[in-house]
């Protein structure tokens, strides 16, 4: 298909779920992928399988909340490819606890992965995207980024933070030709996380994460004159793209 032919992308959370599905779709579209995840054994197994299929993908065990890990990841991509065209911040965790039951350690770890990580990665790639005059940053959000829920103080804080971060990045980076968007699945998606969080009713309609990957491809192709500074519903955009002939 080749819609992303030759584009260099960093994707976090690629060992499982949405991150894995997006990485596979990007590879099918011709992208060069640097796959980042803290779950090293699963990440390396996934990447080994993809490499045997002839794809250009590199496993990068990374704790996105650690500044040193993020700096090493981005520097490796620049040393080997000379650019970063797409950053997809997909890694995320969740737990359900009332605010008075949430420990400082739990709060820091969730905010570290869900919000600090996207900030660190955006900060690291921004100078290089600005120099190139192009780029796309995609931050995975959630309905929890616009509507609060009981027992989700940390998770909601992280996703409301993603919305604020995305809007600010969009304003900062728009003059340099860089598109920034947040994206919510828009429909229940079957992932390792959702196996522990979804109700029985949600499980009846959940879908494979592959169904929302066209939206991630479309956002990777954007500039500020296209889809930019938006909270995108991945399911709705993917359905529209399928109606327009995307496979």
Enumerate the active-site residues. 155
Q: How far is CA 216 from the centre of its chain?
A: 9
* Pick from 127, 230, 237: nearest CA to 180: 230
The three-point CA angle 52-193-218 to 5° equals 60
In this structure, what token pair is assigned to residue 201? Answer: 């009713």
Output helix, strand, coil percentages for the chain, rounded to the nearest 5: 55, 15, 30
CA 79 to chain centre: 22
Backbone angles phi, psi at 180, to 5 degrees: -130, 130
The whole-angstrom separation of Cα 14 and Cα 32 is 14
State both tokens at 38: 């803290």
Q: Copy the structure tokens of residue 143.
A: 């309905």
Nearest to 86 by CA among 43, 35, 148: 35
């Amino acid at each position: 298909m080749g819609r992303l032919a030759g584009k260099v992308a960093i994707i976090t959370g690629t060992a499982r779920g949405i991150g894995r599905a997006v990485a596979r779709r990007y590879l099918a579209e011709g992208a060069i992928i640097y796959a980042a995840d803290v779950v090293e054994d699963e990440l390396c197994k996934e990447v080994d399988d993809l490499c045997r299929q002839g794809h250009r993908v590199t496993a990068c065990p990374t704790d996105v909340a650690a500044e040193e890990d993020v700096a090493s990841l981005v520097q490796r991509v620049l040393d080997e490819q000379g650019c970063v065209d797409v950053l997809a911040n997909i890694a995320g965790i969740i737990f359900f606890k009332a605010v008075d039951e949430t420990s400082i350690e739990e709060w820091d770890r969730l905010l570290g992965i869900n919000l600090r990580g996207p900030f660190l990665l955006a900060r690291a790639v921004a100078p290089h995207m600005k120099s190139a005059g192009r780029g796309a940053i995609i931050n995975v959000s959630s309905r929890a980024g616009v509507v609060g829920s009981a027992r989700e103080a940390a998770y909601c804080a992280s996703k409301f933070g993603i919305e604020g971060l995305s809007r600010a990045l969009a304003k900062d980076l728009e003059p340099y030709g860089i598109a920034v968007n947040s994206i919510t699945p828009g429909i229940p998606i079957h992932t390792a996380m959702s196996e522990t969080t979804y109700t029985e009713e949600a499980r009846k309609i959940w879908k494979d994460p592959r169904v929302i990957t066209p939206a991630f491809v479309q956002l990777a192709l954007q500039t500020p004159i296209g889809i930019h500074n938006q909270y995108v519903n991945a399911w709705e955009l993917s359905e529209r793209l399928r109606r327009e002939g995307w496979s």
